[in-house]
Copies of this chain bind each other. A is one copy, B any other.
Amino acid sequence: MHLLQHIPTLHDIQETHSAIAPMVHRTPVLTCSGIDAISGAKLFFKCENFQKVGAFKMRGASSASLRLPESARRNGIATHSSGNHAQAVALSAKLLGVPAYVVMPENAPAIKIAGVRSYGAEIIFCAANITSRENTLEEVVARTGAYFIHPYNDYNIIAGQATAAKELMEDVPDLDAIIAPVGGGGLMSGTALATRYLSPGTKVYGAEPKAVDDAWRSMQSGKIEVNATTATLADGLRTNLGEKTFDIIRNHVDDIFTVSEEAIVSAMRLVWERMKIIIEPSCAVPLAAILTTPAPFAGKRVGIILSGGNVDLGELPF
C-alpha cells in the first residue's frame, strides 16, 4: 500500500478494506419493520454508530494512517478537529504505536477533549477560529514532523470511508438506492464510488440540513459553495465540500436532499424509540430526507449509512 494520489479505484478500496480490517469493526446492518411502515420503503441501516470511536471516521483515519509510509508515520500523525475525526486519528495512532497531535479549539466540549485524551493523543489548544486552528496545526507539524491527516479532502480518507458502503452492499445485495449524509463529503464520495463500482444500478443520494445546504447549492452551481451559517444541530455536517470530494460527488451522486431541523430531531427520535440505538443528529439526516421526501424511495430497498452515535446526553434536542 502507498498514499493514493488519484481517485480510489475498486482495487484501491478492496485493498484498503483488507488492510484496515484489524483496526475497525465490521458493523451490523439492522432493519426495523416499524420504520419501514412509516417510511413506505424497505430500509437497511448500516450501523457505523457502533464503529470504533462511535463513527465511520475510524475507517478513513485508519486507511490514511496505514497508507503512510512507515518512515513518514514514525513522527506521528496530526489533525485539527473537535469532532469524531480527532478521536479516529488518536485511536489510529495508538493502534499503530505512533504519537498523535490534535489541535482543538479551547472551547471544545469537555467530553470530546476527554475522548481524544483517552486514546493517548497530545492535545494542543488554539483559539476558536479557523486561522488560529490552521496556524497552530502548522506549528505542531513544524515542531514534531507529524503528518497532517485531513478530515475529508484526501483520497486515502475517501478510500477508507468507501468501505462502509462496500460492506453494506456485500450484506444486502440489490439495493435500489443508498443514502448518506454530506458534510465535507468524505463519506458521501466514498459511498458514491463504492456503489458505482459494486452496484452500478443503485441510485446514490446525499442528505444535508437546509441550514447548511452547501452541497446542494454546489451541485446546482457547479462550483464549491460555502455556508453563511453553522446553525444546525447536525454538527458533523457544517463543513463545506473540498475539491476532491466535490469532484467525485458531482459525477457520481444522483441527487441531494435537504431537510429542516425539525425533521432531523424527529428522525433521530424515531430511531432511538423504535430501534433502541443511539445516533447523533448528523446521522439522522438521511432518514429525515426519506421521511420528508418519500416519493423517490416508495417501495424501494434503500441502504442508509448511519454515520455515528456520539451525542452529549446532557444536551439532547428532545
Question: Which chain A residues have a beta carbon within 8 Å of chain B's beta carbons?
Answer: 28, 49-50, 54, 269, 272-273, 275-279, 309, 313-314, 316, 318
**CB <8 Å contact, B313 and A313:** no
Q: Of B50, B272, B309, which one neighbours A313 at CB under 8 angstroms?
A: B272
CB pairs A–B below 8 angstroms (15 shown) = A28-B28, A50-B275, A50-B276, A54-B276, A269-B313, A272-B278, A272-B313, A273-B313, A276-B277, A276-B278, A276-B309, A277-B278, A313-B318, A314-B318, A316-B316
Residue in chain B with minimal CB distance to A28: B28
Residue in chain B with minimal CB distance to A312: B273
**Chain B residues near A49 (CB-CB < 8 A):** 276
CB distance from A86 to the nearest CB of B (A): 17
Residue in chain B with minimal CB distance to A54: B276
**Chain B residues near A277 (CB-CB < 8 A):** 276-278
CA distance A79 to B49 in the complex (A): 38
**Chain B residues near A276 (CB-CB < 8 A):** 49-50, 54, 277-279, 309
CA distance A205 to B314 in the complex (A): 32
**Chain B residues near A275 (CB-CB < 8 A):** 50
CB distance from A55 to the nearest CB of B (A): 10
CA distance A107 to B313 in the complex (A): 28
Residue in chain B with minimal CB distance to A273: B313
CB distance from A266 to the nearest CB of B (A): 12
CA distance A57 to B318 in the complex (A): 27
Residue in chain B with minimal CB distance to A274: B54
CA distance A54 to B275 in the complex (A): 9
CA distance A49 to B28 in the complex (A): 16
**Chain B residues near A313 (CB-CB < 8 A):** 269, 272-273, 316, 318
In this complex, the member of A273, A276, A318 whose beta carbon has the largest number of chain B beta carbons within 10 angstroms is: A276
CA distance A278 to B54 in the complex (A): 15
